[in-house]
Structure 1
């Protein structure tokens, strides 16, 4: 079991705090792996949005956590409390993975954790973050940034994307998808997708691609083209690309590739099928093609990914999925 500590103080945004509690507080019934030990850490009592919250622990608990999450910081024109900044810095120095949700990036920046790193925050505040912290490379056009042990997200829905990304790193794609289904949210949006698109993302069943998506998912073993997708959606290839950019923030081919990769991850985690068999089942054609795209997208070869996540979901009797020093194995970056 890995530990997650939420660092809270007066002025935090309750939406980001709530979704982090929802993801890391308890696992869906269908998830059978050991779940997170969640702790809410802060002063004796804090005001979070309209609510009064009494944390379970003080900030001195943060350095003992495997992952520290800083929810959104409401008043970006005010410096975050020194006690919070110091505690987050100490946790990072102790080896914790540190993530911010939305404007929580201002806390990480104040702690110096983002110096020399690429980071993001809510699109409306990226200029302020860049101006106040010139040593940070602020990317205003992404959902989240995973820069090794320090992660930042854009606002609201992107905060959920980052939380699911952390679950995916720790427990694999299959478990993350189960959590997403339980929360009735999309199972995966790449961190590199655009924060701000030309039109709001419609409700899941009320956009021009609603019928196309499940049709594609059921046919990932086939060599689909943009023309195939456009024909199924009854629109031109140009209109298809425009709708894909509006709904997903990416192109049809890039979206299709990501679906193939995610399906490959699930097969690697849940079956003993060989690489060539998985390549055929995901429409990659050959094991060589699968390895090339998988390595480029996920960052490790398929065999390494399988060994990592199969060992986590099936821990041996001696280690329980932990390092010998008791800390949870870090996720793949």
Structure 2
């Protein structure tokens, strides 16, 4: 069992804390993670009183430490929390912050020389207060391997699902997302803001396009094909995609192909060549190139890592 420790202190934001608790402490995740709350004493989170199970020193024994957002960024984070988070990272824990929890990681020195993000309203403050941090205000989350940060609210959920996907594969993350009735994946590099919410099917030109594309990932679709299906010019399609998804049509399409390849690697015995054809990649070489760039490992290595877990 991989231990996930939630570091809690007075003034934490209750939504971010609750999201992490739901992802790592309920449903199928109960078979993969041991979730513990760590703090020095009973703490007030919004209007709720939370009783930690262990003290902050226990963070150093966890495999993953999650620091939820906290409300008052105008004051320095508690010194005992900062010291415990730093000690946990030095002991080998993976450390992730949700929303303004990034200020705790920055105070601990974990973000120096690294890319990071936080809620868009506070990225300027984070950059000014910690000039050695490379703050990216326009992304949902940033994964530096052992140190991760997310933007606010819904992006915190995206990062938690991303951690499940890293640990147990796409099928596992999809199972958690289904339980929570949320989309299973949003790229970390997607914009925090989109000018239009993700549409329900039928209430927007792209609302009908998305399911049409997902049913045809085995086909060599182009931007022109998508534009023709949406009955608009390629330029207009690009504007709509940027507004709705925060990315371009081609990047979105490539992401869907790679995610489909992940699922097929986990749940089928199909060869890489066959999966390349089924996801519209054409050849195994093309699939391996895009898969490696997106996921960080080769398709065969991904299958070895997650196939046994998926069957279990």
Say yes or no: TM over 0.5. yes
The offset of 1:34, in angstroms, is 2.8
Among 226, 236, 256, the alignment partner of 2:233 is: 236
Runs ≥4 residues deviating over 4 A: none
Which residue of the partner structure matches residue 18 of structure 2? Answer: 18
The correspondence of residues 128-167 of structure 1 with structure 2, limited to 5 A, is: 128-167=125-164
Which residue of the partner structure matches residue 318 of structure 1? Answer: none
- Separation of aligned partners in 1, 2:57 and 2:151: 27
Instruction: Show structure 2 runs of 5+ residues with no match.
Output: none
Instruction: Show structure 1 runs of 5+ residues with no match.
Output: 316-333
Aligned residue pairs: how many? 311
The offset of 1:27, in angstroms, is 2.5
List per-residue Cα deviations over 1:297-326 (Å, max 9, x = no partner): 1111111111111244457xxxxxxxxxxx
The structure-2 alpha-carbon separation of the partners of 1:261 and 1:132, relative to structure 1 and needing over 3 Å to count, comes to same
The offset of 1:169, in angstroms, is 0.2
Report if the CA contact (8 A) 1:26-1:35 is conserved.
no
The correspondence of residues 79-158 of structure 1 with structure 2, limited to 5 A, is: 79-158=76-155
Q: Does 1:37 align with 2:52?
A: no
- Separation of aligned partners in 2, 1:204 and 1:21: 28
TM-score normalised over the length of structure 1: 0.90
- Separation of aligned partners in 2, 1:295 and 1:25: 31
Secondary structure at the aligned position of 2:37 is classed as: strand
Secondary structure at the aligned position of 1:38 is classed as: strand
Q: Which deviates more from structure 2 when the two are superposed, residues 304-313 or residues 81-90?
A: 304-313
Report if the CA contact (8 A) 1:268-1:302 is conserved.
yes
Q: CA RMSD in A?
A: 1.5
Report if the CA contact (8 A) 1:72-1:100 is conserved.
yes
Secondary structure at the aligned position of 2:240 is classed as: helix
Report if the CA contact (8 A) 2:264-2:270 is conserved.
yes
- Separation of aligned partners in 2, 1:174 and 1:80: 37
List per-residue Cα deviations over 1:218-273 (Å, max 9, x = no partner): 11101111122122222222221111111111011110000000000011111111
The structure-2 alpha-carbon separation of the partners of 1:219 and 1:203, relative to structure 1 and needing over 3 Å to count, comes to closer
Which residue of the partner structure matches residue 64 of structure 2? Answer: 67
Secondary structure at the aligned position of 1:47 is classed as: strand
